[in-house]
């Protein structure tokens, strides 16, 4: 089993099975560019630095990739059917402990940076699920969004949204 070492921004090393990394478009490109798939290359001696991902977040990403090993990799952007996407129970449980916290959002950004489309989709869908059926103030409170509207602007938005309350 070929292992490739990922290095987080806080210099933690994570040896990861080569096969798992196919889920990440960014890492896949780096592997190709660094010729890590060549038999002559000593992949173990060439760690891949990921300066935009912290160790604790990278650990979660790897955990997610391990669970989804062998899943078909999503290609292209198809936002047409977003309403139909359902977050599987395992993923829901995976995101829940980090929900409403920095960790889930950092995980989402990491998924975007590492180009792991399935993780990005499920993570964003899980976040969007927390918005459903809630009022503006409730979402503000849960996700820390300041209210910068003037009273007049807020009243205008409130009137616009009356139909949806």
Partner 1 sequence: MLNDSNLQSNGDKETEKTNEIGIQSNIQSNRHEEETIGSALDALCLVPALLMTFPLLSLPDEIIGYIYSFLPIKDRMRARLCKRLDNVEMQHKYFAPRFNIDENDAKITLWRQLVVNDDNMEMVVQRRAIALTRSNSRWFIFRNKPHALFIDRGFPFDTLKRIMKNGTFGFLYVNITGYGEGELLKDAILCAWRIFRLLPECNIDELKIIFPFSLNKDEMVDKYLFLLIDACCKLKLGCTGKLTAAGLNTLYKRVMDRTCKLYFIDFEYAPAGLLKEFLLLIGIKFERGELFSERNVEAYNFKDVQAADDEEGEEMFRMNNHVFDGNLEMIFGHDEDDTTGWLSMNYHRTKEDVVKAKSKKGLVRIEVSPQ
| Shortest Å, Cβ 47 to partner 1 | 26
| Shortest Å, Cβ 116 to partner 1 | 13
Count of residues near partner 1 by CB under 8 A: 45
Q: Pick between residue 17 and residue 100 the one whose CB is nearest to partner 1.
A: 100
Q: Pick between residue 67 and residue 134 the one whose CB is nearest to partner 1.
A: 134
Told to check if 102 binds partner 1 by CB under 8 A, we report: yes
CB atoms within 10 A of CB 75: 8
Taking CB under 8 A as the criterion, the residue among 82, 90, 93, 97 binding partner 1 is 82
Q: Pick between residue 2 and residue 85 the one whose CB is nearest to partner 1.
A: 85
- Give every CB contact of residue 90 below 8 A, 6+ residues apart in sequence: 67
Told to check if 86 binds partner 1 by CB under 8 A, we report: no
């Amino acid at each position: 089993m070929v292992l490739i070492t990922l290095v987080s921004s806080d210099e933690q090393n994570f040896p990861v099975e080569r096969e798992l990394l196919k889920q990440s478009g960014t890492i896949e490109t780096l592997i190709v560019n660094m010729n890590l798939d060549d038999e002559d290359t000593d992949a173990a001696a060439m760690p891949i630095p990921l300066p935009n991902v912290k160790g604790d977040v990278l650990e979660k990403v790897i955990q997610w990739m391990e669970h989804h090993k062998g899943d078909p990799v999503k290609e292209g952007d198809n936002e047409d059917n977003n309403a139909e996407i359902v977050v599987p129970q395992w993923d829901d449980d995976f995101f829940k402990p980090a929900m409403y916290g920095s960790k889930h959002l950092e995980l989402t950004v990491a998924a975007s940076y590492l180009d792991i489309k399935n993780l990005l989709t499920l993570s964003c869908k899980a976040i969007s699920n927390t918005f459903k059926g809630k009022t503006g103030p409730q979402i503000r409170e849960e996700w820390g969004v300041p209210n910068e509207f003037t009273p007049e602007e807020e009243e205008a938005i409130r009137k616009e949204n009356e139909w949806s309350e």
